[in-house]
Amino acid sequence: MKYEIPLCPLCDRPIPPDVPQSHHHLTPRLRGGKGGPVVLLHHVCHREIHATLGETELARHYNTISALRSHPHLAKFIAWVARRPPDFASKLPGKRRNRRR
């Protein structure tokens, strides 16, 4: 039986089994998403989502992959990371970005 390598729905790159990966709740668990839909992402993509958006923003406006891809900062990140190999992992720890209110 052949094992299919999943694709990251955010950046559309393959997620090899030996690459850091994580599950993302489309609606944060603390904002009503417990038991809701979850997607498998590259860990670097997952960190960028949470460094860019707070849980309330994620729950209210960015609770789908298409909504996440439409966010201006994440769109730039996706274009940048899409040019990296599937096993790319940032060596710098992600930090929360300043958000406009």
Q: Is residue 30 one of the residues assigned to a domain?
A: yes
Q: Is residue 91 one of the residues assigned to a domain?
A: no
Residue-range definition of the domain harbouring residue 54: 22-81
Q: Is residue 43 one of the residues assigned to a domain?
A: yes
Residues 6+ apart with CB under 8 A from 10: 41, 42, 45, 49, 65, 68, 69, 74, 78
Tens-place pLDDT, residues 15-45: 998 999 999 999 888 887 788 899 999 999 9
Residues 6+ apart with CB under 8 A from 2: none
Strands 38-42, 21-25: pairing is antiparallel
Q: How far is CA 69 from CA 11, 30, 72, 92, in A?
A: 9, 22, 8, 22
Residue 101 confidence class, pLDDT cut points 50, 70, 90: very low
pLDDT score at 29 = 83
Q: Is residue 87 one of the residues assigned to a domain?
A: no
Tens-place pLDDT, residues 43-81: 999 999 999 999 999 999 999 999 999 999 999 999 999
Number of domains in the chain: 1
Q: Is residue 88 one of the residues assigned to a domain?
A: no
pTM of the model: 0.84
Bin 32: left if φ > 0, else alpha if -120 < ψ < 50, else beta.
left
